[in-house]
Structure 1
Amino acid sequence: MGITYKTMKKLLLIIIIAVTCSITAHAQKFKTHKVKQGETIESIAKQYMVTPSDIYALNPDSKKKLETDTVLIIPNSKFKGESLTTETKELVGYDTHKVKRKETLYSLSKEYNIEIDEIKKHNKQLYSENLQKGDKIRIPKYKTIITKVELDNSIKKYKVLPKEGKWRVAYKFGITVDELETLNPNMSAVLQPGDEVNVPNINVEEEKPIEDNYNYYTVLKAEGFYRLKVKLGLTQEQLETLNPNLKETGLVEGMVLKVPENITVGTLNEDAQIVNLTTELKNLKTKRLAVMLPFRLNRVDVDSIPEAKELIKTDRLLSVSLDFHSGVLMALDSAKYLGISTNLKVFDTRNQLSEVSKILDNNDFSGYDAVIGPMLPANFERVAAQLKQDHIPLISPLTKPENLYDNVFQTIPNEENLVKCAIDLVKNDASKTNVVIIADEANTKTSTKLKAEFVTARQIYSKKNKEGKDAYYISSADISDALKSGKNYVFLETANAGFVMNVTNSLNSLNTSRDKEIILITTNKTDAFEYEHVSNVHLSNLKFHYPSIFRVASSDLPSNFVKQYKSKYGVEPNKYAVRGFDLTLDILLRLASEDDLYKASVGGLETEYIENKFRYSKKLFGGYFNEAVYMLQYKDLTIEEVKQ
């Protein structure tokens, strides 16, 4: 077949490019790789023992699309010096196992030394059905194939220092945790001081130390410089100054960036993606959910209805547990309507560590998709310490956990999130505003923090009595002198009801001038603001604003939910019932929208239900915490949400 001029020209161009690449590769000691069908940048990087960012740096077009037969330039590997042994498994057949009484997937996985997921994979019915006595299931048998990768000459052994985990070692040597694990196939899950691991043989001056006066942020999937500017408040130039390698590699998923210490690495309110997960459902296999609550039903005489009713009235833990549990059951009904089936197991912790330990000893939680509770921190800590071994998601429903392990979800936002919400409200007000900060002695720290944010603000502290102790009052003249024409935001930080009465009465009397607008705000709405002698009329006149974990329950609750709840339980739902509903429905929808709860809880995704919303951020060395809070205000003697 003849070759046309155009074809010849195209071939010549390819030859020139290939020769040029070959010469460049030789001069720089690089290699070339022709992409085969099905290969990815990650698989090619592993083959040559380089990082994906190394390949992207030399082949920027590969970020957009990787086509078969594309020729890539591959740099020399840093991981050289000795042979690495990797193990792969090949399926060779099956054993048939007849299930005996009390056998579980967990016990079978231990007996046959195989993962639970592998058993399910070869017995599809186990995705939707429980293991039953007499069932005959297939147990896959594998043979181990050992592959040796011979490397050239520049890997070295590194002795792990105290406080160094995988992330710190990987960052120190300019690689990711995944790459460190590839380099050390038999590395233990948790590094101990003195452990020896394989690391790139780079010069000592190239090692990157973890600096205590900086924070660190892990780049998420598809994050660009604009998104990081919104999230971290840092420009591309600032990030490149702190992380010089960025200029060569660009942003790569999993990359760890050094950022200033004062940067909050969670997502910001304005960056949240509010999502209706009911339109995102794709994983509809039956969910296994456990709930642990302190019912203490061993104290309830079920034969005496009056006694049981009295106990529910007087025992707050029992009452809250029953209300929360009722919300959980309502959520299961709603999820079922959407096509999500749930296998729920409820445990009574009796609010005793011994009972919690008994539950853990007598039950296998390794196959659960998530566990909600226990409710109280000490009991929660006991469960968290054990379930982290199997990386089972554990959700703290109403309290903050003692330790935020990497499998723990803290659903109650931190005080910092509430404070930030209040500060952002004032800062985002485009009108020219005056800020006044009123606080008692116990809230000096908060007053100082607010002053740092609003440098021109006037600070006023409550007066002292003769003994030098806080008297919890200020004069109207003190406040009047601090107010200016236009809009005035007055922060009131106190937990003393008398001080709230004193300040709100004074502000209300001063709120008559046409040229002044007074808005009362606090970063922490304590019970003092609910005191019976604090006037709601005054709070409404002052447009009282405050951040809140919950949206206030009212008659505005979705009528269908209230109607169904009243039909089932005979009363309107309280905040604990609504919390149980919102939290459980959110977990089930997230589980149905992704492979697991971890994948469904990253990237700033925000969900909102009846009274609660959830937007999780992950601690660099820990678990997940909810950042989503509400800003509420008193208006016309009602409470409503302020959209920021």
Structure 2
Amino acid sequence: MNKVLMFVLLLFVTSVGLAQQYKSHKVAKGENVYRIAKRYNVTPEVIYKVNPTAKDGIKEGEILAIPVANDKEYKTHLVEEGDTVYSISKKYGITPEEIYKLNPEARDGINIDQILKVGIVSTEKTGIDTGDKTTVSVPVTEETGRTPVSFRTHKVKKKETLTGIAKAYSVTIDEIKKHNKRLYSEGIRKKDKLRIPVYESVAAGTDEGGTPVGTVSQVTTYVVKPKDTKFGIARKHGITIEELEQLNPEMDPDFPIGMEIKVPTSVFVEYGDVLEEGFELYKIQPKETMFSLVRRLDISSDSLMKMNPYIKDGLKAGMVITIPKQNIKDSLSFDYAEGKTINLERKLFNFKQKKIGVMLPFSLESIDINTRSKTEEYLKRKQSLRVALDFYSGILIAVDSAKTRGISTELSVFDTEKDNNVKGIKEIMVEANFDEMDAVIGPLYQSNVELVTAELKKYDVPVFSPASKKESKLYGNFFQTRPSKELLEDKLISYVEKDSTDKNIIIIVQRGTKHEALKNKLIAKFPNAKIAKIQKGNYLYEVDLARILDAKKPNWVFLESNDVAMISNVIPLLNAKAESHKVTLFTTEKNKAFDNDNIKNEQLSKMHLHYPSIDKEYDVEEMKLPFVERYKKKYGVAPNKFAVRGFDIAYDILMRLGTADDLYHAATFEGTTEYVENKFNYAKKLLGGYYNKASYIIKFDDDLKLTVVE
């Protein structure tokens, strides 16, 4: 039975039995259930109830039954970059207050891709009924009344929006759509050629007052003073640097003292030396909302607006605001909840082909493929090549797996060869068309990935560092996929802290300055802990251990060392005491020393060693997951940890791209994604890029079994 027939039957049954009114809605390209619900003033849950299959996603052309209480249908607006409540109200001929009435949440700010109601389409098609006594005269026909005297052609560039193009030519979005009919149902694409109407009454690029479109209408002349910068002047007047340049298209790039420029009449918080102590400047990131910002700063939106009056109409990417230092919960980042797990596979809607770059050190120029024995010997010696090949094999399975869900991928692969390969990397960047890519995975080496990130910053292409533990403090397009050492430490310490009451906490830390900071960190968190006396040479005597153990309480022991000799000395001592005392072992870093043959896993299992990990460390030989089965079928062997990681990172990127417009938008999702052995929850640094805060707590259980406890 087709969906149209099902809908007709459903409409008939409900009209007879429940007298419920329905409308049929044909899904347009790019629509999702949330946007449709907003249009008909219902909740997504109501739509799912009537259309159960919609929970698994909706497709263009599909017919949905929409239950409605009356015959009203809301006109909606999709917020684009640069939009404010004020500019939207002008576009639809209503007041900001009327937008707030229809969208109370907009008082806390609006963000890109948010759906706003801008009125109710009346049945007479003569205007918009706002639901109260006021009727807003916004024509349904999209007509503006102006007659063009000529047309010009605009070729769409990458990253351009219809809003930006309209502002550049001093026309409305509706006026562009009127002369490019396909834009009523489709979005613009790179290299599209648009017919732009030219009107006699208004010069291109300006409003009726001669002010460039996209800026405030009331301007005044400002004389550049010593120490003035574009950044400072733009911030003082509540605009972005881009808007300042739009106001002054002929501005001298050298920004000389004494130059006269146009600026908005209003002056807000002063910049520079007058910034009060205890406050700092912050640049608004793409997709950032008022809600996420006030939650992060732990202050009210009213307080933030008092400090920054010009944000009352909403936040714009690139805007610089004043924020209080002391109210920042974590000076490093914007944090998102880790506890909630999200399944992106069930939320896919963006099926546009994804373009992914992969940069790995294959070092193909060093391989003699004509001599098998030499090739095999080279593979044995070159660990980085083995890692790269395994990682890449996982990426290929991820691409195949995403394809089964409707996400196709154009994969471009580049050989970065060696570490610190400045010349080679720059040659790759010149030859390839990176500006069109949705993401780049790699390179493996930190020096190379930093270089690639810097080169691609101008295109805002996200770069995912797959292996390095180091984070970038410079580039907003940098994505660190491995949780840092500090994050793993905090993960375990927090885990212990939750249940440390009535526990005898013991701290055993290796001597030396390298471990001093961690020792102080543990003491600060557990001020009543007992500190083991470590002898010169990093040895612990049994008598010193006996003094700090407690026979009546559970003994929770931190062992922090990368010295095999020290670990092989301490573990047997603790294991012997475990016969008469309750001993549980913890370490913030299970490094290679713990895997040494001198350390018996049976003893670690007996004391239930707990440690943080970036992955689950499962035995993939025993796993029956689709990825593992597909990998075995294609390559004839079980995937190792590098292949699993390659799959998890690539598949997560593709799923995020399938559920958002870009990866910056997808990084704002609250919650954690999880696949074979790895999970991801990206948070934004105040200065710098994104990092992954998701990790596991692993426990050595009985019979040498590894168990995920958090």
Q: Do the two structures share a fold, i.e. TM-score over 0.5?
A: yes
Aligned residue pairs: how many?
542
Q: Does 1:575 align with 2:647?
A: no
The aligned residue for residue 185 of structure 1 is: 246
Report the AA paired with residue 406 of structure 2: G
C-alpha distance after superposition, 1:588-609 (max 9, x if no partner): 1111111111101114332111
**Mapping of 1:1-20 within 5 angstroms?**
none
Report the AA paired with residue 480 of structure 1: A
Aligned CA distance change for structure 1 residues 640 and 194 (closer, same or farther; 3 Å)? farther
Q: Does 1:626 align with 2:692?
A: yes
Quote the offset at 1:63 in angstroms: 2.3
The aligned residue for residue 364 of structure 2 is: 297
Between the aligned partners of 1:59 and 1:593, the Cα distance in structure 2 is: 28
Between the aligned partners of 1:385 and 1:567, the Cα distance in structure 2 is: 39
Q: What percentage of aligned pairs have identical amino acids?
A: 29
Q: Any conservation in 1 of the 2:154–2:195 contact (CA below 8 Å)?
A: yes
Aligned pair partner of 1:282 in 344, 349, 352: 349
> Which ranges of structure 1 fall in alignment gaps of 5 or more residues?
1-35, 73-88, 98-104, 107-112, 132-136, 465-470
Aligned CA distance change for structure 1 residues 123 and 525 (closer, same or farther; 3 Å)? farther
Between the aligned partners of 1:197 and 1:272, the Cα distance in structure 2 is: 49
Q: Any conservation in 2 of the 1:174–1:207 contact (CA below 8 Å)?
A: no
- Please give the secondary structure, in 1, of the residue aligned with 2:573: helix
The aligned residue for residue 414 of structure 1 is: 484
Aligned CA distance change for structure 1 residues 241 and 528 (closer, same or farther; 3 Å)? farther
C-alpha distance after superposition, 1:561-582 (max 9, x if no partner): 2222122112211111111111
Quote the offset at 1:251 in angstroms: 12
Aligned CA distance change for structure 1 residues 409 and 203 (closer, same or farther; 3 Å)? closer
The aligned residue for residue 548 of structure 1 is: 613
- Please give the secondary structure, in 2, of the residue aligned with 1:492: strand
Aligned CA distance change for structure 1 residues 218 and 95 (closer, same or farther; 3 Å)? closer
The aligned residue for residue 407 of structure 2 is: 340
Report the AA paired with residue 435 of structure 2: S
Quote the offset at 1:397 in angstroms: 1.1
Q: Does 1:308 align with 2:382?
A: no
What TM-score comes out, normalization by structure 1 length?
Answer: 0.72
- Please give the secondary structure, in 2, of the residue aligned with 1:344: strand
The aligned residue for residue 529 of structure 1 is: 594
Quote the offset at 1:122 in angstroms: 11
**Mapping of 1:94-493 within 5 angstroms?**
139-140=193-194, 142=196, 144-147=204-207, 148-149=210-211, 166=231, 173=236, 175=238, 181-182=242-243, 185=246, 198=263, 200-202=266-268, 209=275, 220-221=288-289, 223=291, 228=295, 257-260=323-326, 263-264=329-330, 266=333, 271-351=338-418, 352-399=421-468, 400=470, 403-429=473-499, 431-440=501-510, 441=512, 442-464=514-536, 471-484=537-550, 485-493=552-560
Aligned CA distance change for structure 1 residues 437 and 187 (closer, same or farther; 3 Å)? farther
Aligned CA distance change for structure 1 residues 398 and 138 (closer, same or farther; 3 Å)? closer
Aligned CA distance change for structure 1 residues 331 and 591 (closer, same or farther; 3 Å)? same
Q: Any conservation in 2 of the 1:369–1:392 contact (CA below 8 Å)?
A: yes
C-alpha distance after superposition, 1:299-320 (max 9, x if no partner): 2122222322222122111111
Q: Any conservation in 1 of the 2:268–2:308 contact (CA below 8 Å)?
A: no
Q: Any conservation in 1 of the 2:391–2:643 contact (CA below 8 Å)?
A: yes
Report the AA paired with residue 564 of structure 1: R
The aligned residue for residue 3 of structure 2 is: none
Between the aligned partners of 1:183 and 1:508, the Cα distance in structure 2 is: 69
- Please give the secondary structure, in 2, of the residue aligned with 1:145: coil
> Which ranges of structure 2 fall in alignment gaps of 5 or more residues?
1-73, 106-116, 120-128, 134-147, 159-164, 169-175, 199-203
Between the aligned partners of 1:585 and 1:90, the Cα distance in structure 2 is: 51
What TM-score comes out, normalization by structure 2 length?
Answer: 0.65
Between the aligned partners of 1:488 and 1:90, the Cα distance in structure 2 is: 85
Report the AA paired with residue 283 of structure 1: N
Q: Any conservation in 2 of the 1:242–1:258 contact (CA below 8 Å)?
A: no
Q: Any conservation in 1 of the 2:86–2:313 contact (CA below 8 Å)?
A: no
Aligned pair partner of 1:591 in 643, 651, 657: 657
Quote the offset at 1:192 in angstroms: 9.4
Quote the offset at 1:224 in angstroms: 7.2
Aligned CA distance change for structure 1 residues 416 and 604 (closer, same or farther; 3 Å)? farther
Quote the offset at 1:643 in angstroms: 3.5
Aligned CA distance change for structure 1 residues 122 and 324 (closer, same or farther; 3 Å)? farther
C-alpha distance after superposition, 1:327-351 (max 9, x if no partner): 0111011001111111111111222
- Please give the secondary structure, in 1, of the residue aligned with 2:395: helix
Report the AA paired with residue 582 of structure 2: E
Report the AA paired with residue 435 of structure 1: I
C-alpha distance after superposition, 1:510-564 (max 9, x if no partner): 1123xx4222111122211111101211111111111112221314534432222
Q: Does 1:636 align with 2:636?
A: no
Between the aligned partners of 1:641 and 1:308, the Cα distance in structure 2 is: 39
Q: Any conservation in 2 of the 1:183–1:198 contact (CA below 8 Å)?
A: yes
Quote the offset at 1:62 in angstroms: 5.4
Aligned CA distance change for structure 1 residues 318 and 39 (closer, same or farther; 3 Å)? closer
Quote the offset at 1:355 in angstroms: 2.0
Q: CA RMSD in A?
A: 4.6
